[in-house]
Structure 1
């Protein structure tokens, strides 16, 4: 008798995380992040991997906490934070994605006149987080059903916050759910806010600015403030996994 896939943790990546992540055109991704505050990484996960990760949601042993958004005014829906050790597939991607994003993050800080610089490897950055008392893992698995949404927010969990994070859509739009678009807003000084709706398919990832990013203007760089969220799910069930690179207090 075959055992349902949801009883297993996801299998290791068939293609190693470093090779999979390194295959993207990161120069183009950096330009997208600079220009719009986000960049799509198509097909980062296979459909089978997406289903396996989604299947973890009901298995409490993988998680350190469970959040019902409505209880905190975050919107409607729910999510669970993974505990350490992370599932291999997520830990591998978190480690592999970080070096490609840290150079972008350091360039942003330089342009915004911020002294903080991020180390080249994720282990060194996590060491800084833990020394600052931020020891709880932040990768999370989100679940939405009809009527659920995620208010515009920023994922900041302590003094140390890596300025870029990644979300991977695990469900297929139009088949598994309708609605539920990923939304990014950018508040610009003395200007109206700009909204970006990011189209994603199952397995696609979006890297996006968590808090601030620089924008080139006629008089040099200025700082904009970003928030992200998810529009109302109209039907079905939507799962997303979030990869946040800093840990929490």
Structure 2
């Protein structure tokens, strides 16, 4: 029997998200993203917050669509896209993370010779998305059970795509599930692909490149193409919150 979860607290949520995110060492996180295409933000959510978000999964009123990966060749598992209005905690995280990531995204585009620049506030960026016809919210909640996995992919959803996104692990490895590692791969020109397995605990987040990132080479800056996925779950149940900053068509 599904039990209705407690509502995620409102009011102080956005300020709390801003405060906890502002306290992080963002120069160090930016260096990690520059060097490896991903960076761990440890203990971004409390265990209680993780449980509150994961408990939303069975309640369809919070979501606009329900995707079974196997039907689309995405892997095996399922996820749900949140509908607007988003839960307050997710709004707070999306709003507070974006201005920390926007300068990194702009620096990457400058290095890669990409003209696009991103405004400092997430509200201004969403306005651009909506003017481009991208109006559907993209934050999502993923659920895996034994045997499930997520194929390597990119979350683009439209012509206007913010080049960084964040995933938060809501379950505790070893206690709630085994297997199910977050995997990131880089396809490098004229070289073998590089894989990165990102170790996360409950409440940890990983910020990572959606599509391309710049890399310094012997002949200047070149682009690498990134994809991300999740390895096969061995046992238990795994929930993940995906925070994507652009909306979808």
- Partner of 2:96, secondary structure, is helix
- Partner of 1:142, secondary structure, is strand
Aligned length: 246
Q: 1:219: Cα distance to partner? A: 1.5
Residue of structure 1 in register with 2:68 after alignment: 68
With structure 2 as the length reference, what TM-score do the two structures score? 0.97
> What pairs up with 1:64-213 in 2 under 5 angstroms?
64-213=64-213
Q: 1:11: Cα distance to partner? A: 2.3
Assess if the C-alpha contact under 8 Å between 1:9 and 1:56 holds in 2. Answer: no
Gaps of 5+ in 1: none
Q: Tell me, in whole angstroms, the C-alpha distance in 1 between the residues paired with 2:205 and 2:85.
A: 22
Q: 1:6: Cα distance to partner? A: 4.1
- Residues 14 and 188 (structure 1), Cα distance of their counterparts in 2 relative to 1, 3 Å cut: closer
Assess if the C-alpha contact under 8 Å between 1:76 and 1:149 holds in 2. Answer: yes
Q: Deviations over 1:7-66 (max 9, x none)?
A: 323224497111111111000000000000000000000000000000000000000000
Structure 2 residue 6 is matched with structure 1 residue 8: yes
Residue of structure 1 in register with 2:47 after alignment: 47
Assess if the C-alpha contact under 8 Å between 1:9 and 1:53 holds in 2. Answer: no
With structure 1 as the length reference, what TM-score do the two structures score? 0.97
- Residues 178 and 6 (structure 1), Cα distance of their counterparts in 2 relative to 1, 3 Å cut: farther
Q: Deviations over 1:196-239 (max 9, x none)?
A: 00000000000000000000111211000000000000000000
Residue of structure 1 in register with 2:220 after alignment: 220
Q: 1:139: Cα distance to partner? A: 0.1
Q: Tell me, in whole angstroms, the C-alpha distance in 2 between the residues paired with 1:48 and 1:54.
A: 10
Q: Tell me, in whole angstroms, the C-alpha distance in 1 between the residues paired with 2:146 and 2:5.
A: 26
Gaps of 5+ in 2: none
Q: CA RMSD in A?
A: 1.2
Q: Tell me, in whole angstroms, the C-alpha distance in 1 between the residues paired with 2:144 and 2:123.
A: 32
Q: 1:122: Cα distance to partner? A: 0.3
Q: Tell me, in whole angstroms, the C-alpha distance in 2 between the residues paired with 1:238 and 1:9.
A: 21
Structure 2 residue 42 is matched with structure 1 residue 56: no
Assess if the C-alpha contact under 8 Å between 1:43 and 1:204 holds in 2. Answer: yes
- Partner of 2:120, secondary structure, is coil
